[in-house]
Amino acid sequence: MSMDWKACCREIRCDILRCIGHLGVGHIGGCLSVVELLAVLYFEEMNIDPADPKKPGRDRFVCSKGHAGPAVYATLSNRGYFDKAELLTLNQGGTHLPSHCDMNLTRGIDMTTGSLGQGFSCAVGVALGSKLERDGATIYTLIGDGESQEGQIWEAAMFAAAKKLSNLIAFTDYNKLQIDDTVAKVNDIAPLADKWRAFGWNVIEVADGNDAGQVSAAVKLAKSCRGGEKPTMVILNTVKGCGVKWIEELGSGNHNCNISAEQAEAAIREIRGED
């Protein structure tokens, strides 16, 4: 039985818009760009149990671009980690769902992230831990393209390759936009694949990171590299704000933007193809 990725991703996108729309502001662009990845990991590839979120030996996901928290929460709630109603508490005082991922607050979150660059190093530490425990887990981590400007990313990249952490599969959300402008204009990270290869990583490039079929195939290919000598970087060419035309058209303005309840409702209708 094959997964209906379109329906799965549609639900996650609508939940992202519902919770950020309820609040009126949030990191919409970089949440919508990573939906296909999260769907593939949580609904297909990861060895996890929503009933036992801290199960030893499980696969882990470290969302180093911690501001994509709402996308992860929408995915976790769709996967059964917690009730969907909780999504509407996003960023409200006392919530379990803060804008940036917090392992001590949210069921199913494996690492606290938000200060860019650090989560990736933490994921490397987790992968080292799993290797020492010989538990066979696969450690997944997601970094942003703007985040790739952080020096700590490259410190960790060097270390992971030197220690041959082939149980580590990383993804770059290469949507080409950051807060101030395009990544190319602010401080270009290209040629990105060459950089990762030069740092001793396998590199898989996905032409359309918002096509779940392509993402799924890339993750399977990455998993086949486990047990080898190198960690693997999957570069996902994505669209920031993917799925809602006016949000996509905001460009770098969609990193953290306002959205009214009416706009959110219209966006949900657009995603559902009801307009």
- Residues of the shown chain interacting with another protein in the complex, contacts defined by CB under 8 A: 62, 102-104, 110-112, 114-115, 117-130, 132-133, 151-152, 155-156, 158-159, 163
Residue 204 has phi, psi (to 5 degrees) of: -120, 125
Long-range contacts, 181-187 (Cβ 8 Å, 24+): 181/252, 182/251, 182/252, 183/145, 183/146, 186/146, 186/149, 187/149
Q: How near is the Cβ of 137 to another protein at its closest, in Å?
A: 9
Would you say 80 or 129 has its CB closer to another protein?
A: 129
Q: How near is the Cβ of 104 to another protein at its closest, in Å?
A: 5
Would you say 110 or 173 has its CB closer to another protein?
A: 110
Question: What does each C-alpha distance from 123 to 24, 111, 126, 144 come to in angstroms?
Answer: 31, 8, 5, 14
Would you say 43 or 120 has its CB closer to another protein?
A: 120
Would you say 54 or 245 has its CB closer to another protein?
A: 54
Q: How near is the Cβ of 234 to another protein at its closest, in Å?
A: 20
Would you say 23 or 123 has its CB closer to another protein?
A: 123
The amino acid that residue 104 corresponds to is: N
Would you say 146 or 241 has its CB closer to another protein?
A: 146
DSSP string over 4-29: -HHHHHHHHHHHHHHHHHHHTEE-HH
Q: How near is the Cβ of 125 to another protein at its closest, in Å?
A: 2
Which two three-digit tokens encode residue 137? 């887990």
**Neighbouring C-beta atoms of residue 57, cutoff 10 Å:** 11
Question: What does each C-alpha distance from 218 to 41, 201, 209, 212 come to in angstroms?
Answer: 11, 15, 10, 10
User: What is the rounded CA–CA span in Å between residue 199 and residue 115?
Assistant: 23
User: What is the rounded CA–CA span in Å between residue 32 and residue 10?
Assistant: 10
Q: How near is the Cβ of 232 to another protein at its closest, in Å?
A: 18
Q: How near is the Cβ of 123 to another protein at its closest, in Å?
A: 6
